[in-house]
């Protein structure tokens, strides 16, 4: 099994954290977006979107981090089943995974472009896009904050793939300045996830180290 990505990417992090948590033997190939490796023919042959992460296991080639996560959970036996439950709980997990992609992560994705990528490229942030993204972040953070009242995790008492999908935007909060701190249940839930899934914490540390290297490469 091989994962293609960058430790600085929150979408790559979701997969790396899960693979580490499940103790799966997944090799890693670094794909440097900043020099256009994701646009090279060999990479586009694997993933025509040119996005990271991409995953390969024999003939199985997947893009979309959530699809990769489900594949890994299904490979991993009981530890995987705990994060990817069967029955009606699975539909709850899927519901939040889709919601994370369609709503919760969209504002932060704009903010990382505007406040990090554009800054590296020497461009100013676009105030209209930033304001719209912040409105979106607040709208959905409020939904999740209210949902989490009296709940340890989004589905049941232990983490599932849905929690990892929802936690991804916390990866770049130092850069996006997404106002998650205004939502106390969200902050407490994220702390519980860091404790319950130690690889979520360690991949967060790896990500910050890689960000330092990226910033340095642009400064030189
Ligand atoms: N929905 C995709 C998003 C992938 C994505 O947008 N990745 C970013 C990095 S975090 C990327 O590859 N950006 C480069 C580009 O869009 O060209 C997933 O979950 O895997």
Cα R_g (the chain), whole angstroms: 17
* Confidence check: pLDDT of 4 > 80: yes
Q: Residue 157: beta bridge partners?
A: none
* Confidence check: pLDDT of 105 > 90: yes
pLDDT at 119: 95
Q: Which CATH superfamily is domain 2-80 in?
A: Glutaredoxin (3.40.30.10)
Is the Cβ atom of 54 under 6 angstroms away from ligand 1? no
Q: Helix or strand or coil: residue 215? A: helix
Structure confidence at residue 7 as a pLDDT band (50, 70, 90): very high
Sheet of strand 2-5, all strands in order from the earlier edge strand to the far edge: 27-30, 2-5, 54-57, 60-63
- Kindly list the domain boundaries of the chain, sorted by start residue: 2-80, 84-219
pLDDT at 37: 98
Is the Cβ atom of 210 under 6 angstroms away from ligand 1? no
Mean pLDDT of the chain: 97
Nearest ligand 1 atom to the CA of 112 is: 10
Tell me how far the alpha carbon of residue 52 lies from the centroid of ligand 1, in angstroms. 5
> Cβ distance 136 to 169 under 8 Å?
no
In order of 11, 46, 61, the CA distances from 38 in angstroms are 14, 10, 15
Nearest ligand 1 atom to the CA of 39 is: 17
Q: How far apart are CA 34 and CA 92, in angstroms?
A: 37
pLDDT at 220: 76
Best residue among 52, 53, 111 to mutate for probing ligand 1's pocket (most ligand atoms within 8 Å of CB) is 52
Q: How far apart are CA 202 and CA 195, in angstroms?
A: 11
Q: How far apart are CA 216 and CA 105, in angstroms?
A: 27
Interhelix angle 10-21/198-219, nearest 10 degrees: 140
Q: Which of 39, 32, 24 is nearest to 4 (CA)?
A: 32
The protein residue whose alpha carbon is closest to atom 10 in ligand 1 is 9
> How confident is the model over 107-145, as pLDDT tens digits?
999 999 999 999 999 999 999 999 999 999 999 999 999
Tell me how far the alpha carbon of residue 110 lies from the centroid of ligand 1, in angstroms. 12
Nearest ligand 1 atom to the CA of 51 is: 12
pLDDT at 89: 98
- Percent of the chain past pLDDT 70, that is, above it, reads 100
Is the Cβ atom of 145 under 6 angstroms away from ligand 1? no
Is the Cβ atom of 164 under 6 angstroms away from ligand 1? no
pLDDT at 168: 98
Q: How far apart are CA 167 and CA 197, in angstroms?
A: 12
Domain range 84-219, its CATH number among 1.10.10.10, 3.10.450.50, 1.20.1050.10, 1.10.1370.30: 1.20.1050.10
Q: How far apart are CA 24 and CA 22, in angstroms?
A: 5
The secondary structure of residue 25, as a DSSP letter, is -
> How confident is the model over 50-72, as pLDDT tens digits?
999 999 999 999 999 999 999 99
The protein residue whose alpha carbon is closest to atom 12 in ligand 1 is 51
Domains 2-80 and 84-219 share a fold: no
């Amino acid at each position: 099994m091989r994962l293609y990505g960058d430790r600085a990417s929150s979408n790559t992090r979701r997969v790396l954290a899960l693979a580490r948590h499940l103790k799966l033997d997944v090799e890693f190939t670094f794909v440097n977006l900043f020099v256009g490796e994701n646009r090279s023919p060999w990479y586009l042959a694997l993933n025509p979107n040119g996005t990271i992460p991409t995953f390969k296991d024999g003939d199985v080639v997947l893009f979309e981090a959530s699809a990769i996560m489900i594949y890994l959970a299904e490979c991993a036996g009981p530890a995987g089943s705990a994060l990817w439950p069967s029955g009606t709980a699975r539909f709850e997990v899927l519901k939040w995974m889709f919601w994370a992609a369609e709503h919760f992560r969209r504002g932060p994705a704009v903010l990382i472009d505007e406040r990090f990528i554009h800054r590296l490229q020497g461009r100013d942030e676009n105030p209209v896009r930033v304001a719209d993204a912040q409105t979106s972040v607040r709208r959905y953070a409020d939904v999740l904050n209210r949902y989490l009242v009296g709940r340890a995790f989004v589905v049941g008492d232990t983490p599932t793939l849905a929690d990892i999908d929802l936690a991804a935007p916390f990866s770049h909060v130092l850069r996006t300045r997404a106002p998650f701190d205004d939502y106390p249940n969200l902050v407490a839930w994220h702390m519980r996830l860091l404790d319950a899934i130690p690889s979520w914490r360690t991949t967060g540390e790896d990500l910050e180290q890689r960000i330092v290297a990226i910033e340095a490469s642009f400064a030189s």
